[in-house]
Structure 1
Amino acid sequence: MDRIALLLVIAGALNWLLVGLLQFDLVAAIFGGQGSFMSRVVYTAVGLGGLWSLSLLFRERGRG
């Protein structure tokens, strides 16, 4: 689950990079606009991945 969350966060970060540099929202372009159902699903998945990734900050690493 950690890797999936990380991949989602990276995808979101790359999309925001495109928005910031080029004013181009790749997710909206692929799925038919920001308000489309699929775009909202992707944005929600990225947000949930970000929330999950917050837990990584507070986890103790096991000694192996």
Structure 2
Amino acid sequence: MYKFSIIDKVSLILMVLGALNWGLIGLFNFNIIGIIFGEPVNLIGRILYILIGVAGLNMIILFFKTKNSCK
């Protein structure tokens, strides 16, 4: 069984944050990250969006790691 590292756990949290943000944008045109960090998105907001994207890439890699460890 694959043990989640701290990076995997942080990536999962960022992925949930990104998914909730996109869901709210789609349903209500409400951008949580834009509200918290200011509109238009400033440097901190852009960094957060980049981290969410990197977390998504890490989750893809994690998917293949866990898929191979289950065999």
* Structure-2-length-normalised TM-score: 0.80
1:61 aligns with 2:69: yes
Task: Answer whether contact 1:8 1:45 (CA < 8 A) is retained.
Answer: yes
Aligned to 1:44: 50
Q: Which runs of 4+ in 1 moved over 3 A?
A: none
When the two chains are superposed, the root-mean-square deviation of aligned CA atoms in Å is 1.5
Once the two structures are TM-superposed, the CA of residue 34 in structure 1 deviates from its matched residue by: 3.9
Q: Distance in 2 between matches of 1:45 and 1:8?
A: 8
Among residues 22, 25, 31, which one is paired with 1:19 in the alignment? 25
- Measured at CA, do residues 51 and 35 of structure 1 come closer, stay the same or move farther in structure 2, by a change above 3 Å? same
1:8 aligns with 2:23: no
Percent of counterpart pairs with the same letter? Answer: 35
Structure 2: unaligned runs, 5 residues or longer: 1-6
Q: Distance in 2 between matches of 1:46 and 1:11?
A: 8
Once the two structures are TM-superposed, the CA of residue 3 in structure 1 deviates from its matched residue by: 0.7
| Number of residue pairs matched by the alignment | 63
* Structure-1-length-normalised TM-score: 0.88
Q: Distance in 2 between matches of 1:48 and 1:34?
A: 22
Structure 1: unaligned runs, 5 residues or longer: none
